[in-house]
Chains A and B, each alone.
Chain A
């Protein structure tokens, strides 16, 4: 049994990987798709098509709206029907490009074959350009543009590339399935990123509740010619897949408060991102597909699936295709049960970071009646960042931003361990997230003021 994990905190929810045995199926195209302009971290993309335009699969339909932003591509060929605000899964209006699907005619220059291309291009800048042009973003949840992350600021050196195959969220199996079915592609993707970062050590971290994936990765590595890539089985503990937690487990280094992983020489990428990088660089294929799990504790096992979906398919279309919302589903979640977001609007379109539709029963989702804090300290024990959630909540209630900053509320990774472990059912994370937002805003304002001062 592996003992490699992060040092403090963490919880052990039942992993409930119910859909682990379901091979990835390809979803047929729906009649209409809605492509969100805000499906990555940073500035929303700017549409460059007009209503009535004919688009081909993989054609650029929106350009980055800033430095931290990404290209967006048409998920199918057809006609642009509208460019208008549409409700996302949280019910808020977001700009979408609506495409009436007429077929699947790809743009030229895309290699649609299944052949594995193992030869990596030499030119580092060209690789980065391709990753950017194909709209690749981090698919582990944060959807941070990958080309920005792979191009660290001058002066910082990447010592270790960590491929995140932990998939520590219960229920989710999409990463697990691609690790089994697209093993070699993921490794080639890792080798590409390794090259871009200057040939650093590369570790593929996989939680040990996925022995098949660990074995498959090890076997595939032996047949491929790359050096310096290893597979590391990790202890099963949530949030093992958190960026800072993975770095601690693999490199035994702690990212300082407010620091980026690169400050300790680490770059973390998800295995799904690695696959997207492979397809972008080796096949010239933009990021228009991703894998998603349909699962949940009130869905019979025979109705659970792992699907390869086109980004922009409505969630309701996928749910209908899989047989509709099951009886007894009290809560629908996009993402895992720990960090995922509740789906308030099933008509919302899938985005680059969509990883699941999770049907949860009333009993497993309803929060208990909130009672008073008894200072048992379980939340502090559970916090993987070493924070004191009970204290942060009290400070937030008192509105003491200074003390909140001193107690490092800005380091919260919003993993939900505190809320999960609280016996009094206090909505700790709800409040801490607010506090974090306010403190971060204050820090940013201060930095901006400092910047303008030094300019003068």
Chain B
């Protein structure tokens, strides 16, 4: 009886040993040589496998990064500059620092300002809703409120505000992976540079209808009036298809556009002080008045000189003063008056 047990153990152990040796030899023979840096990079990466970098996951990122000749096509939005620096050190490449980004919602049509005009009765999904029609409000560009972006976020950074019916971004949790951007059928979410101490200005609307139609649909809509474009002294705002857009790179965060916007479509966030709307309005109005007076002087002189001397168009400097000799006298007349 005992001998059977012993023999069994001996045979099984011997078999195990034999197979282990065979497996070891096979593994040695058919070993796949993988660049050790891939594993190193993968360990450095956050391991979220979110696909925010544009690759299938962290391993694919590491694999392609090792094969690439520089890191221009690689950026891990979750790890940010810190992780990218480590990756660059491993590979011996240089990497440019990127400004950290955050998702911002380009719609501020809350339930209070954007009245519902019909009842949606279909499946609760923005994609389904967008495929059927323009939505249950008069605005065919705005947030549909079914929360596809919330469902897409793997970091819990998005939630629906029951009161406004709009999604809210938790800046502390948002890693700017861009999944919500892809999920939104109305393309309302933009990845925007976070800004110094999180301060940033953006137009929170994408309504491309003409002013009256946009206003009728939503009290907070950008009506394409262009006041912000005229107000901005940094040339940061462009107006296209009845919608303003602030270029973050040019914006100096002066908040003048925000104060001057008649509908409140421009949002400023994380500023330490509340917006001094009246103060800025007064400042802008004074500047405009001064510019207008100067421009009138310049214009009048141009007309006078043109009629008097038939000279070609005058060169005028930025503040409106004419530079040709003929206008100097006219300018004096104006100032004498």
State the Cβ distance, B209 to closest chain A Cβ, in Å: 8
- Asked whether, in the complex, the Cβ of B128 is within 8 Å of the Cβ of A431, the reply is yes
Tell which of A91, A366, A430, A433 has the most Cβ of chain B within 10 Å: A91
For the complex formed, measure the closest distance between the CB of B152 and the CB atoms of chain A, giving whole angstroms. 11
* A366 adjacent to B133 (CB under 8 Å): no
Which B residues are in CB contact (< 8 Å) with A367? 121-122
A342 touches B132 (CB 8 A): yes
Query: Closest approach, in angstroms, between the C-beta of A396 and any C-beta of chain B?
Result: 10
A96 CB → nearest B CB, Å: 14
* 9 cross-chain pairs, A with B, having the tightest CB-CB distances, nearest first: A91-B134, A427-B123, A430-B123, A90-B133, A430-B128, A344-B133, A91-B140, A92-B134, A367-B121
Confirm or deny: A17 has a beta carbon within 8 angstroms of a beta carbon on chain B. no
Q: How far is the CB of B287 from chain A (nearest CB, A)?
A: 36
Residues 162-215 (chain B) with a chain A CB within 8 angstroms: 208-209
Closest approach, in angstroms, between the C-beta of B139 and any C-beta of chain A? 9
A437 vs B140: C-alpha distance in the bound complex, in angstroms? 21
**A149 sits at the interface (CB 8 A):** no
A263 at the interface (CB under 8 A from B): no
Asked if A87 is at the interface of the complex by the 8 Å CB criterion, the answer is: yes
Q: How far is the CB of B117 from chain A (nearest CB, A)?
A: 8
Verify if A156 is at the interface (C-beta below 8 Å from B): no
Q: How far is the CB of B30 from chain A (nearest CB, A)?
A: 30
**Residue B267, interface by CB 8 Å:** no
A313-367 residues at the B interface, CB under 8 angstroms: 341-342, 344-345, 365-367
> Is the pair A90, B134 in contact by a Cβ cutoff of 8 Å?
yes
- Identify which of residues 426-450 in chain A touch chain B, using a CB-to-CB cut-off of 8 Å: 427, 430-431, 433-434, 437
Contacts of B308 in A (CB 8 A): none
- Cβ B135 vs Cβ A91 within 8 A: yes
CA distance A51 to B121 in the complex (A): 40
Q: Which of B117, B128, B208, B209 contacts A433, CB < 8 Å? A: B128
Q: How far is the CB of B240 from chain A (nearest CB, A)?
A: 15
Please pick, from A344, A430, A434, A437, the residue contacting B134 in the complex, using a CB distance under 8 A: A344
Partner of A366 from B121, B135, B208 at Cβ < 8 Å? B121
Tell me whether B128 and A434 are in contact (CB under 8 A).
yes
A93 at the A/B interface (Cβ < 8 Å)? Answer: yes
Q: How far is the CA of A87 from the CA of B117 in the complex (A)?
A: 14
Q: Is B125 an interface residue (CB 8 A)?
A: yes
Closest partner residue, chain A, to B141 (CB atom) = A93
Q: How far is the CB of A420 from chain B (nearest CB, A)?
A: 14
Contact between A431 and B123, CB atoms less than 8 A apart:
yes
Measured CA separation A342–B140 after assembly (Å): 15
- A344–B121 contact, CB under 8 A? no
Complex alpha-carbon distance, A427 and B125, angstroms: 11
The distance from the CB of A419 to the nearest CB of chain B, in whole angstroms, is 10
- Supply 10 further A-B pairs (C-beta < 8 A) apart from A92-B134, A344-B134, A434-B127: A90-B132, A91-B134, A91-B135, A93-B209, A342-B132, A342-B133, A365-B121, A367-B122, A430-B122, A430-B123
Measuring CB to CB, which residues of chain A are less than 8 angstroms from any residue of chain B? Answer: 87, 90-93, 341-342, 344-345, 365-367, 427, 430-431, 433-434, 437
- Residues of chain B at interface, number, CB under 8 A: 16
A365 to B120, CA, bound (A): 12
Contact for B118 among A87, A344, A431, A434, CB less than 8 A: A344
Q: Decide yes or no: A92 and B122 within 8 Å by CB, A431-B128, A434-B127, A437-B131 being known contacts.
A: no
CA distance A93 to B127 in the complex (A): 18
Given A92-B140, A93-B140, A366-B121, is A427 in contact with B135 using a C-beta cutoff of 8 Å? no
Smallest CB-CB separation from A92: which chain B residue? B134
In whole angstroms, how far apart are the Cα atoms of A365 and B122 in the complex?
Answer: 11
**For the complex, what is the distance from the CA of A272 to the CA of B27, rounded to whole Å?**
72
How long is the Cα–Cα vector from A105 to B133 in the complex, in angstroms?
36
| B132 engages A427 (CB within 8 Å) | no
Given known A92-B140, A93-B140, contact A427–B134 (CB-CB < 8 A): no
Cβ-defined contact, A430 with B140, below 8 A: no
Point out the residues of chain B lying under 8 angstroms from A430, CB to CB: 122-123, 125, 128, 132
In the bound complex, residues from chain B placing their C-beta under 8 Å from that of A344 are: 117-118, 133-134
- Residue ID in chain B nearest A433 by CB atoms: B131
Proximity string of chain B (102-142) to chain A, C-beta cutoff 8 Å, 1 when within and 0 when not:
00000000000000011001110101100111110000100
**A87-B134 contact in complex given A92-B140, A344-B118, A366-B121, C-beta closer than 8 Å:** yes
Give residues 280-309 of B contacting A (CB, 8 Å). Answer: none
Contacts of A437 in B (CB 8 A): 131
Residue of B nearest to A431 (CB): B123
Nearest Cβ in chain A — how far from B20, in angstroms?
Answer: 38
Please give, as numbers and ranges, the residues of chain B lying within 8 Å of A87 by CB-CB distance. 134, 140
| Least CB separation from B138: chain A residue | A91
Residues of chain B with a CB closer than 8 A to A365's CB: 121
Residue in chain B with minimal CB distance to A365:
B121
> Nearest CB to that of A370 among chain B residues?
B123
Q: Is the CB of A427 within 8 A of B140?
A: no
Instruction: With both chains docked as a complex, state the minimum distance between the C-beta of A448 and any C-beta of chain B, in angstroms.
Output: 21
> Is there an interface contact between B140 and A434, defined as CB atoms closer than 8 Å?
no
A363 CB → nearest B CB, Å: 13
A433 CA to B130 CA in the complex, in Å?
Answer: 12
Cα A439 to Cα B309 in complex, Å, equals 72
How distant is the Cα of A13 from the Cα of B208 in the complex, in angstroms? 42
Provide the bound-state CA to CA distance between A87 and B135, in Å.
12
Establish whether residues A427 and B118, one from each chain, have CB atoms under 8 Å apart when the complex forms: no
From residue 31 to 74 of chain B, which have CB atoms closer than 8 A to chain A? none
**What is the CA–CA distance of A345 and B132 in the complex, to the nearest angstrom?**
13
Q: Report B-chain residues with C-beta under 8 Å of the C-beta of A427.
A: 122-123, 128
A427 to B124, CA, bound (A): 9
In whole angstroms, how far apart are the Cα atoms of A345 and B209 in the complex? 15
Q: Which chain A residue lies CB-closest to B117? A: A344
Type the 1/0 row for B130-159, where 1 means its CB is closer than 8 Å to any CB of A.
Answer: 011111000010000000000000000000
Task: Tell me the smallest distance from the CB of B3 to a CB of chain A, in Å.
Answer: 56
Note all chain A residues with C-beta closer than 8 A to B208.
93
CB distance from A192 to the nearest CB of B (A): 37
Please report the C-alpha to C-alpha distance between residue A433 and residue B123 in the assembled complex, in whole angstroms: 11
14 contacts between A and B (CB under 8 A): A90-B133, A91-B134, A91-B135, A92-B134, A93-B208, A93-B209, A341-B132, A342-B132, A342-B133, A427-B128, A430-B122, A431-B123, A433-B131, A437-B131
Bound: A93/B140 CA distance, A = 8
Q: How far is the CA of A93 from the CA of B139 in the complex (A)?
A: 11
Bound together, the chains give a CA A69 to CA B208 distance in angstroms of 27
Nearest Cβ distance between residue B89 and chain A, in whole angstroms? 36
**Residue of B with least CB distance to A427:** B123
Chain B nearest CB from A143 CB (Å) reads 18
**Across the interface, which residues of B come within 8 angstroms of A342, CB to CB?**
132-133
Q: Which residues of A contact B121 (CB under 8 A)?
A: 365-367
Tell me which residues across on chain A come within 8 A of B131, comparing CB atoms. 433-434, 437
Closest to B213 in A: A87
Q: Cα distance A91–B140 when bound, in Å?
A: 6
Q: Considering the chains assembled together, what is the distance between the CA atoms of A344 and B135 in angstroms? A: 8
With both beta carbons as reference points, the residue of chain B lying nearest to A430 in the complex is identified as: B123
Quick one: which of B117, B118, B121, B133 has the most chain A CB within 10 A? B133
CA distance A256 to B125 in the complex (A): 32
Chain A contacts of B117 at CB under 8 A?
Answer: 344
